[in-house]
Amino acid sequence: MAVNDNKIQNNLSKQNVLLYIMPQKIQKRRLEDMKTGAKKKGIQISQNYSSSVTHVVSEFTNLEQVLRILEVKTEAEIKDQHIVKIAWFIESIKAGHPVPVEIQHKIQLIMPKIQEEEKNVEPVIPEWACQRATPFKHFNEQFTEPLEILEKYAELRDQEQDYSRALAFRRASCVLKSLPYKVTNISSLKNIKDIGGHSSRVIKEILEDGYCQEVEDIVNDPWFHKMKLFSSIFGVGPSTAKKWIEKGWNNLQDINIEDLRNDWRVIWGVAFHEELMDSVSRTEADVFAQIVREEAEKILPGVSVVLTGGFRRGKPIGHDVDLLLTHPDVGSEIGLLATLLQRLEEKELILCGNHERSSFSPEVYQRDFKLSMRGQLDHFEKWLGICKFPKTFIEGCSDILTQINVTKKSVIKGSLDDCDEPKTKFRKLSSKALSPVDVFKSKRDWKARRVDLIISPFDQHYYALVGWTGNKHFNRDLRLYSQRVLNMKLTSHGLYDLSKNVTVPASSEKEVFENLNLTFREPSDRNC
Ligand code: CTP
Ligand code: MN
Ligand code: MN
């Protein structure tokens, strides 16, 4: 904005003034009156905005709006022009000549409220992620996406031995997701302890250059591409992916099925990789959940089937369908999963999977929690596998339930004969079975989708619900917080008070948070 020298102002003659009245927000009639009034006083009016205009009169209260409409990119472009309120115009008409522009006449730049917060108020950020609301949609994707690439890279590089580097990037990303404004200034982050030196440098670089070179290098690193590709295969973790790269494998075609040590998950995972990489839509997940609910209800009336995981946190798509099953009568859930799997098999909804028996014993309450991905594994009875979703699911057919023919016999059976299948015994195998690759290539009216079915006894259910709702980082933070702050051990099976040596029950999800002395967070605010 021009800083006005009053002497110059006072010497302004009417001839030196060219007015442009912005028509926006001014009624047509009033605008005409204003123009007529100006002409009567001999003040020149321009019909259009141009650089020769000396005064822009507007009803807008924020300079930002004026500049946007005038299509002015920077304030420097208007340094010789006055952007003034209607009040200046009225005073000028009254005075019979353009009055000097005083501070009260100027239309000022009003920063949006969210940015004001960033500048003026030191944000109060709770120390733990589980004490903050972390929504799925937030203001700082520009930074969190690159930070999570660094996290992923560190995770793949260092793996289990050293998860701390990966974690540092995630912490920074997580805290940025919880900020109610877009970060525009690195200094506003200086007191946030979750943003360490490395992350801070990354954010600064993005603010200055629009990108971070280190992240660009990772994105273009062939090793990273291969690691991401291989570890995205069902049943393949980072250590297997590394071994494959060491063998010189570069893509899916290089994978030698013979070399897969008969791991059924990997065999199916490779064959169906392309399809499993498709996102699962919320509609598909809901249709499948409803089928499971109806079947489970027939087996065990009163059963509860909850769609958990990312969908429960409000994500519109996911990589799988996570269903948590329980029944208010503790013990009645035993045997449910085996029967349910049989029913789903009869309906030809199952491609392959592994039914794991429960490995729970009360001592898991006290077991050491490690700061690792493995630390999140639980001991519930569960089935992790791949289901066949008829294409009609995907299109979201409303009368879908009637379309699944219960009596139809499965023609396609996967060959699992040679596979080691620990604790799995529900699947009958046909000797004439097609190979997974043949199944993939066959003409079929279904798509392969990853499904997790988990059974929790009701007295552990609400802890299981929190655990299986996630996200993973929210859980990890919650567990670490419980341990460090409360001296309590939290798992998907329950909460164990290490000082008193007792378990702390919960009869709702809210009670889980109460027991942890935390404000309740809706699942949609657990997207750390
Ligand atoms: N989980 C778990 N034990 C496992 C696997 C997963 O407790 N053996 C938890 C995860 O920590 C996560 C939730 O269950 O909080 C769902 O896991 P997953 O399906 O892997 O992730 P989502 O958050 O659902 O992501 P997506 O939408 O991609 O499926
Ligand atoms: Mn999921
Ligand atoms: Mn899952």
Residue linked to tokens 């009003």: 110
Mind listing the pLDDT tens digit for each residue in 491-502?
999 999 999 999
> Which protein residues have a CB closer than 5 Å to ligand 3 (ion)?
320, 322, 452
Nearest CA to 267 among 139, 354, 394, 204? 354
Mean pLDDT of 74-94: 90
Contact 166, 149 (CB under 8 A): no
When the pLDDT of each residue in the chain is averaged and rounded to a whole number, the result is: 87
| 279, 317, 322, 372, best to mutate for ligand 1 pocket (most atoms within 8 Å of CB) | 322
120 band by pLDDT with thresholds 50, 70 and 90: low
Neighbours of 197 (CB within 10 A): 8
Cβ contacts of 516-521, under 8 Å, gap ≥ 24:
516/130, 516/478, 516/481, 516/482, 516/486, 516/488, 516/490, 517/486, 518/130, 518/131, 518/481, 519/131, 521/130, 521/133
- pLDDT score recorded for residue 333: 98
Output DSSP code: residue 501. Answer: T
- pLDDT score recorded for residue 403: 54
Output DSSP code: residue 44. Answer: E
Q: Rounded to the nearest whole angstrom, what is the distance from the C-alpha of residue 463 to the centroid of ligand 1?
A: 14
Task: Provide, rounded to the nearest whole percent, the portion of the chain with pLDDT above 70.
Answer: 85
User: How far is 389 from 347, CA to CA, in rounded Å?
Assistant: 11
> Which distant-in-sequence residues (6+ apart) come within 8 Å of 209 by Cβ?
none
Structure tokens at 191: 């007191």
Contact 459, 365 (CB under 8 A): no
* Atom of ligand 1 at shortest range from CA of 320: 29
- pLDDT score recorded for residue 426: 41
For ligand 1, whether the C-beta of 315 sits within 6 Å is yes
User: How far is 267 from 370, CA to CA, in rounded Å?
Assistant: 30
Contact 29, 37 (CB under 8 A): no
Nearest CA to 455 among 367, 385, 387, 357? 357
pLDDT at 357 over 90: yes
Please report which ligand is nearest the Cα atom of 453. Answer: 3
Mean pLDDT of 487-492: 96
For ligand 1, whether the C-beta of 492 sits within 6 Å is yes
As a three-state string, the secondary structure of 420-481 is CCCCCCCCCCCCCCECHHHHHHCCCCEEEEEEEEEECCHHHHHHHHHHHHCCHHHHHHHHHH
pLDDT at 415 over 50: no
- pLDDT score recorded for residue 396: 60
Neighbours of 91 (CB within 10 A): 16
Mean pLDDT of 407-420: 32
- pLDDT score recorded for residue 6: 46
For ligand 1, whether the C-beta of 477 sits within 6 Å is no
Q: Give the residue whose CA is nearest to atom 25 of ligand 1.
A: 310
Q: Give the residue whose CA is nearest to atom 18 of ligand 1.
A: 309
Q: Give the residue whose CA is nearest to atom 8 of ligand 1.
A: 377
Output DSSP code: residue 526. Answer: B
Quote the Cα angle for 41-44-47, to 5°.
130
Quote the Cα angle for 210-314-378, to 5°.
105
User: How far is 138 from 526, CA to CA, in rounded Å?
Assistant: 12
Q: Rounded to the nearest whole angstrom, what is the distance from the C-alpha of residue 30 to the centroid of ligand 1?
A: 62
Give bridge partners of residue 453 from the DSSP assignment. 323, 383
b/e burial code for range 280-296 (CB count within 10 A of at least 16 → b): bbbebbebbbebbbebb
For ligand 1, whether the C-beta of 377 sits within 6 Å is yes
Q: Binding site annotation covers 452?
A: yes
Mind listing the pLDDT tens digit for each residue in 439-457?
999 999 999 999 999 999 9
Helix (H) or strand (E) segment spanning residue 285: helix 282-299
For ligand 1, whether the C-beta of 155 sits within 6 Å is no
Q: Rounded to the nearest whole angstrom, what is the distance from the C-alpha of residue 359 to the centroid of ligand 3?
A: 19
Structure tokens at 296: 């489970």
CA dihedral in degrees (481, 485, 488, 490; nearest 10)? -10
Structure tokens at 133: 């609301």
SS3 state of residue 12: coil
Q: DSSP 3-state helix, strand, coil percentages of the chain (rounded to 5)?
A: 45, 15, 40
pLDDT at 374 over 80: no
| Max CA distance (Å), the chain | 102
Q: Rounded to the nearest whole angstrom, what is the distance from the C-alpha of residue 457 to the centroid of ligand 3?
A: 19
Q: Rounded to the nearest whole angstrom, what is the distance from the C-alpha of residue 3 to the centroid of ligand 2?
A: 58
CA dihedral in degrees (486, 489, 490, 491; nearest 10)? 170
Q: Rounded to the nearest whole angstrom, what is the distance from the C-alpha of residue 485 to the centroid of ligand 1?
A: 25
Q: Binding site annotation covers 497?
A: no
User: How far is 158 from 173, CA to CA, in rounded Å?
Assistant: 19
Q: Give the residue whose CA is nearest to atom 20 of ligand 1.
A: 309
20 band by pLDDT with thresholds 50, 70 and 90: very high
Mean pLDDT of 334-360: 97
Quote the Cα angle for 146-149-151, to 5°.
115
Task: Provide, rounded to the nearest whole percent, the portion of the chain with pLDDT above 90.
Answer: 73
Contact 382, 356 (CB under 8 A): yes
Structure tokens at 78: 């208007």
Q: Rounded to the nearest whole angstrom, what is the distance from the C-alpha of residue 322 to the centroid of ligand 3?
A: 5
pLDDT at 416 over 50: no
Give bridge partners of residue 362 from the DSSP assignment. none
Q: Binding site annotation covers 368?
A: no
- pLDDT score recorded for residue 5: 45
Contact 438, 384 (CB under 8 A): no
Where do the domains of the chain lie, and which CATH numbers do they carry?
Answer: 2-105 (3.40.50.10190), 116-219 (1.10.150.110), 280-360+373-458 (3.30.460.10), 461-525 (3.30.210.10)
User: How far is 122 from 115, CA to CA, in rounded Å?
Assistant: 12
Mean pLDDT of 505-525: 98
> Which distant-in-sequence residues (6+ apart) come within 8 Å of 416 by Cβ?
264, 352, 427, 429
Mean pLDDT of 96-124: 75
